[in-house]
């Protein structure tokens, strides 16, 4: 472990469900180093997705501190949060591709938001799709792709802007087991060969075991850690 | 994000829902087309009428009529000899009295017609209206004999089809009923046509008209048995505002302040300001339809933002800033607004052409011909006028309306929270 990229200190998140406050995170302390492959394992409702959304700057904590590369995220304004999100790769359970765009256009989108020229975008998108093994499916729309393929497009998209780390929320939750295995192999390769830092949330014990380090969550706190 | 990429992103979203976008655009098209059509028709009408007016009007003339100031009852009579008084005022180069009566004339072949008989000094009248008081047939006599008559083109050729009712050399019988005597007395005399005027067209106040006949002022005085005249036409040295104002003031003073002095320029100004008001009014009505289109845009966009909540969440997760989300939705509105406006301008222009082709050349002028027999002669052809100002104004207004109404939905989209938007089903 070289340096710490993510550090949470007593991180808390309470949201209102109607009039009832729900404590999703009750003080999480976690450090993630550069190049790590970390799994967050826990049953649904344990707060693991909430933690991922906070780290991904998609949501704001209600207590504690969150540092990403030593920057206090809670002090950032909307624009700065958007800039931060641009440098974080997000992979969702339901892929969240734009249906009207082809695979390549979907991968180009974050680069378009970042302001890259059309030529640069295209080149990099093609490289990335090649890397995830979709060189022949670039001009297909998500509806023409299988779940596994869609998720690989999503991973290519997440990598588009050279993110500091990848956040994966149940990345295989919506994919059959054979394809899920392919995805995990891809993720592991990214981590081992390219040194991409990965945090993966899952409730699948077997999947979590693939990571180098596993964090167990229950009722909004980390209850156990395991390093392989 | 580059502007071009924003537009292409917005365009891809529009293309996804072609029918919806098409209908939204149609709203803008109708609004803009209505505005452009109405404006180009009224402007065409205005151009047609003012060019007619300018032909019939001489800008350096004043019309003096009895009746100074407010109030209907006026005992004052303008006399033929008052023309002489006015002539001595500075800057006045000519001043002629005009007597006019509605009479019946009997044509050589027996037809009778009701016309306005106008008594003027032929020579002086010709000097003032040198471009319109021109003979097409015969000659305008400078020292006319008492029974000489000059007829307007429409009296000679009332249907403009070559069916000539009277021509030079014909004798016309003029009948006038003197209503000041008891019992009423019919006066009549036989005159000779010495000239037919060239077609004038258009309106006039005091100036020559196609549907009148002209007799010498001295004959008018004796035949109508009067020393009073209906108006005195005054020609000034130039049409400077200062000259017009000072001469008008001097004339009013010379005649004891009991006369009205009207300048042709003032009348023209009044007419054009009336037109501007009509134009504004019509454009205002048309603008309402554009506002309705704007509300349609807002409605559609609010639905669209709701439908695309998840997409907005994805964009935000990928690092798009609030401002960029706002701009993307405004780009969508701008594309629809611009497209609708451009089509609308074309449609409005075509509509104006069609409307004027159907009603323009005879209808419009025909109504006025019936309305004011004395002031109007032949039909006016109206062609729609589309000025660059109207085009530019339509584009600016069309875009502005769409953008303003898109602002709220776009702002709503930009304020969505990423986590909630991503969770939206």
B150/B194 Cα distance (integer angstroms): 6
Paired tokens of B103:
């009479």
- Look at B208 and A81; give whichever has higher pLDDT: A81
Query: What pLDDT score was predicted for residue B364?
Result: 39
Segment B91-119, tens digit of pLDDT: 888 899 999 999 999 988 888 889 999 99
Residue B284 is predicted with a pLDDT of 87
**Integer Cα distance of A161 and B77 in angstroms:** 94
Q: Give the start-end residues of each E strand in B198-320.
A: 212-216, 231-236, 259-263
Residue A109 scores a pLDDT above 90 = yes
Q: Which residues of B touch A86 (CB under 8 A)?
A: 318-319
A153 pLDDT higher than 70:
yes
For residue B363, what pLDDT is reported? 39
Sheet holding A221-227, edge to edge: A88-91, A165-169, A197-202, A37-41, A213-218, A221-227
Residue with the larger pLDDT of the pair B360 and B59: B59
Per-position DSSP letters for B68-89, written without gaps between them? -SS-S------BTTHHHHHHTS
Do A157 and A129 meet the contact criterion of CB atoms below 8 Å apart? no
Quote the CA–CA distance of A36 and A43 in Å, as a whole number.
23
ipTM over 0.90: yes
Query: What is the structure's pLDDT at A71?
Result: 92
pLDDT in tens, A118-134: 999 999 999 999 999 99
Q: Quick check: A161 contacting B, CB < 8 Å?
A: yes
Residues spanned by the domain of A19? 1-85+196-228
Nearest-CB residue to A113 (from B13, B313, B319): B319
What region does B284 belong to: left with phi over 0, alpha with psi -120 to 50, or beta? alpha
Domain residue ranges of chain B, discontinuous segments joined by +: 3-56+268-423, 77-257
A95 touches chain B (CB under 8 A): no
Q: Does the pLDDT of residue A191 top 60, yes or no? A: yes
Please, are residues A88 and A164 in contact by the beta-carbon 8 Å criterion?
yes
| CA closest to B2 among chain A residues | A115
Q: B217: how many CB neighbours lie within 10 A of its CB? A: 22
**Residue B372, pLDDT score:** 36
CA A83-A86-A88 angle, to 5 degrees, is 120
Which has more confidence, A1 or B372? A1
Question: Mean pLDDT across chain B, nearest whole number?
Answer: 85
**What is the pLDDT, as a whole number, of residue B370?**
36
Select from A53, A100, A115 the Cβ nearest to the Cβ of B419: A53
Q: How far apart are CA B107 and CA B163, in angstroms?
A: 13
Q: What is the pLDDT of residue B60?
A: 81
What average pLDDT does the segment B240-259 reach?
86
- Which pLDDT score, from 0 to 100, does residue B334 have? 94
Answer for the pair B250, B357: CB distance below 8 angstroms, yes or no. no
Residue of A5, A1, A2 lying closest to A66 (CA atoms): A5
Give counts: helices (H), strands (E), chain B: 13, 10
A95 or B238: whose pLDDT is higher?
A95
User: What is the residue-averaged pLDDT of chain A?
Assistant: 93
The three-class DSSP label of residue B65 is strand
- Number of H helices and E strands in chain A, helices first, is 7, 10
Average pLDDT rounded to a whole number, residues B345-355:
93
Indicate whether B377 pLDDT > 80. Answer: no
Instruction: Note whether B319 contacts A98, CB cutoff 8 Å.
Output: no
User: Does B240 have pLDDT greater than 90?
Assistant: no
pLDDT digits (tens, 9 = 90+) for A208-221: 999 999 999 999 99
Mean pLDDT across the stretch B282-305?
89
Whole-number pLDDT of residue A156: 96
The pLDDT value recorded for residue A92 is 93
pLDDT at residue B365 is higher than 90: no
Report the gap between the CA of B421 and the closest CA in chain A (Å). 10
Per DSSP, the residues of B33-45 read: HHHHHHHHHHHHH
**Residue B203: pLDDT above 80?**
no
Rounded to whole angstroms, how far apart are CA atoms B143 and B121? 9
Segment B120-135, tens digit of pLDDT: 999 989 888 888 888 9
CATH of the domain at A23: 3.40.50.300
* B72 pLDDT more than 60: no
Longest dimension (CA), chain B: 102
Where is pLDDT greater, at B54 or B46?
Answer: B46
Task: List the beta bridge partners of residue B219.
Answer: none
Q: How confident is the model at residue B337 (pLDDT cuts 50, 70, 90)?
A: very high
Statement: residue B239 has pLDDT above 90: no
Considering its fold, how many domains does chain A have in total? Answer: 1
Chain B residue set in contact with A, beta carbons under 8 Å = 1-2, 5, 9, 12-13, 15-16, 310-311, 313-324, 417-419, 422
- From A228's Cα to the closest Cα of chain B, the distance in A is 31
């Amino acid at each position: 472990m070289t340096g710490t990229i993510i550090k949470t200190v007593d991180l808390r998140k309470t949201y209102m469900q109607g009039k009832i406050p729900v404590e999703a995170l009750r003080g999480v302390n976690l450090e993630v180093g550069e190049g790590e492959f970390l799994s967050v394992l826990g049953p649904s409702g344990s707060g693991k997705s909430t933690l991922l959304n906070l780290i991904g700057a998609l949501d704001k904590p209600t207590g504690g501190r969150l540092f990403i590369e030593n920057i206090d995220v809670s002090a950032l304004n909307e624009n700065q949060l958007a800039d931060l999100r641009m440098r974080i790769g997000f992979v969702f359970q339901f892929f969240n591709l734009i249906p009207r765009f082809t695979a390549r256009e979907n991968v180009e989108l974050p680069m378009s938001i970042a302001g890259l020229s059309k030529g640069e975008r295209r080149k990099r998108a093609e490289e990335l799709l090649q890397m995830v093994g979709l060189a022949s499916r670039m001009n297909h729309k998500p509806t023409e792709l299988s779940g596994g393929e869609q998720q690989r497009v999503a991973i290519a998209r997440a990598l588009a802007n050279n993110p500091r780390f990848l956040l994966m929320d149940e990345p295989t939750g919506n994919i059959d087991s054979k394809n899920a295995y392919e995805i995990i192999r891809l993720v592991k390769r990214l981590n081992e060969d390219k040194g991409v830092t990965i945090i993966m949330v899952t409730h699948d014990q077997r999947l979590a075991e693939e990571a180098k380090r596993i964090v167990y969550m229950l009722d909004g706190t980390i209850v156990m850690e395991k390093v392989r | 994000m580059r502007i071009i990429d924003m537009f292409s992103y917005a365009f891809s979203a529009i293309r996804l829902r072609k029918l919806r976008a098409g209908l939204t655009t149609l709203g803008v098209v109708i609004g803009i087309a209505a505005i452009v059509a109405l404006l180009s028709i009224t402007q065409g009408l205005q151009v047609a009428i003012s060019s007619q007016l300018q032909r019939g009007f001489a800008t350096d003339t004043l019309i003096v009529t009895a009746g100074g100031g407010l109030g209907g009852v006026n005992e004052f009579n303008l006399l033929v000899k008052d023309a002489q008084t006015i002539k001595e005022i500075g800057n006045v180069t000519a001043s002629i009295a005009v007597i006019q009566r509605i009479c019946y004339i009997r044509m050589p072949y027996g037809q009778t017609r009701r016309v306005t008989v106008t008594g003027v000094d032929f020579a002086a009248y010709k000097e003032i209206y040198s471009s319109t008081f021109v003979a097409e047939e015969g000659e305008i006599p400078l020292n006319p004999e008492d029974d000489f008559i000059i007829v307007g083109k429409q009296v000679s050729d009332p249907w403009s089809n070559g069916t000539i009712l009277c021509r030079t050399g014909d004798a016309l019988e003029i009948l006038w009923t003197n209503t000041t005597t008891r019992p009423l007395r019919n006066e009549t005399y036989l005159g000779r046509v010495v000239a037919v005027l060239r077609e004038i067209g258009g309106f006039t106040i005091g100036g020559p008209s196609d549907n009148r006949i002209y007799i010498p002022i001295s004959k008018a005085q004796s035949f109508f048995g009067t020393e009073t005249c209906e108006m005195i036409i005054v020609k000034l040295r130039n049409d400077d505002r200062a000259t017009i104002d000072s001469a008008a003031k001097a004339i009013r003073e010379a005649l004891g302040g009991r006369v009205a002095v009207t300048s042709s320029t003032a009348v023209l100004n009044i007419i054009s300001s009336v037109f501007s008001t009509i134009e504004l009014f019509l454009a205002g009505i048309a603008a309402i339809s554009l506002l309705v289109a704007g509300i349609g845009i807002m409605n559609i966009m609010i639905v669209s933002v709701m439908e695309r909540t998840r997409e907005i969440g994805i964009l935000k997760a990928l690092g798009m800033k609030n401002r960029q989300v706002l701009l993307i939705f405004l780009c969508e509105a701008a594309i629809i607004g611009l497209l609708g406006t451009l089509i609308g301008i074309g449609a409005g222009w075509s509509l104006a052409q069609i409307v004027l082709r159907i009603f323009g050349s005879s209808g419009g002028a025909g109504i006025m011909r019936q309305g004011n027999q004395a002031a109007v002669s032949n039909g006016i052809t109206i062609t729609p006028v589309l000025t660059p100002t109207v085009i530019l104004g339509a584009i600016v207004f069309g875009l502005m309306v769409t953008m303003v109404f898109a602002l709220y939905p776009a702002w709503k989209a930009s304020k969505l929270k990423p986590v909630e938007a991503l969770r939206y089903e």
